[in-house]
Amino acid sequence: MKRRNFIRNTSLMLGTTSGLDLTVFDREGSIQGKPIVISTWNFGYEANKAAWQVLSTKGNALDAVEKGVMVAESDLNNTSVGRGGNPDRDGIVTLDACIMNQLGQAGSVAAIENIEHPISVARMVMEKTPHVMLAGNGAKQFALENGFESIDLLTDKSKANYQEWLKHSQYKPIINIENHDTIGMLALDSHGNLSGACTTSGLAFKMHGRVGDSPIIGAGLYVDNKYGAAVCTGIGELVMRNLSSFLAVEVMRNGKSPQKACEVAIQRIIEKTPDVSNVQVGSLAINKKGEIGAYAIQKGFSYAVHTEAIEKVFNSEYKVDATLKRK
């Protein structure tokens, strides 16, 4: 698909942002420099605000992305991340998260229960252990031993959603529902360093023990401080099979723009998936210049941008319509 020079006038703002400028901007021109923070979906807008508080005072990107996604993890109205997340088919809320810094170090937790901020546990895995990932009861034990509080993650709203689901017990992910799924966040700080974070409660009513792309380094998130960083969101199995974030960063390593990197990552998924009519994956990327890119299989993937001059949510470009099947 030929690259467009300007984002279409499909930007959308959250209700509390009426004072902000909605002017269409040059995706690969005006959006560059540092510091900058970008994140997936509409709810990334509020998360970016917390990250910007760190970046605007010359704080580092790692602290920024952790603080940013913690906002989504604590949002009781967000049914796809953290404390407000919908449970699995057994009625249990399990969370996944990962984080990477400018040194290429990474930490991850998978299928952790009763911990509000899995992103902070993931960072502690990175900084305090020789490992990259802890899972299940081991991840929870590690968190409790390091001062995290055990809480009930099943909110009244999520419990009601689960009770409604039990009436039919149909497991069918719906694309773009409630701007669903992972919050992935990438930041470039004033020192020129990149970091990223990714956190989710996963697909609603999944099989107990299911883990998606969000805690998988190279799938949900990848950071290479020399070239760029990328996150993905959507149906995790598709991202895991193609290591989509790693692929996007490799494309940038070969001299391509973040926009081209996202397009290549999404195209690879489409080529490897027999039917993409009912699936969604979005890719978001940034390079060392602060240039950004975003692309998705289907219409509906949104992302938030926060710089000193820009504070907005945009709709990404996309590849196919809902009826396309690969021949």
Residue 93 — φ and ψ, nearest 5°? -85, 120
Secondary structure class of 47 (helix, strand, coil): helix
Question: Phi/psi zone of residue 114: left (φ > 0), alpha (ψ -120 to 50 degrees), beta?
Answer: left
Q: Is 228 within 8 Å of 261 (Cβ atoms)?
A: yes
Catalytic residue among 79, 182, 200, 273: 182
Question: Phi/psi zone of residue 33: left (φ > 0), alpha (ψ -120 to 50 degrees), beta?
Answer: left
Give me the amino acid identity at 186.
L
Q: Tokens representing 305?
A: 């941008």
Which of 35, 1, 32 has its CA nearest to residue 193? 35
Known catalytic membership, residue 40: no
How many other C-beta atoms lie within 10 A of the C-beta of residue 130?
A: 5
Give me the amino acid identity at 297.
I
Which of 91, 68, 94, 99 has its CA nearest to residue 83? 94
**β-bridge mates for residue 112, sequence order:** 95
Torsion of CA 108, 112, 116, 119, to 10 degrees: 0
Give the C-alpha separation, 233 to 115, whole Å.
22
Q: Is 50 within 8 Å of 70 (Cβ atoms)?
A: yes
Secondary structure class of 16 (helix, strand, coil): coil
Give the number of residues written for the chain: 327
Give the C-alpha separation, 280 to 41, whole Å.
13
- Active site positions, annotated: 182
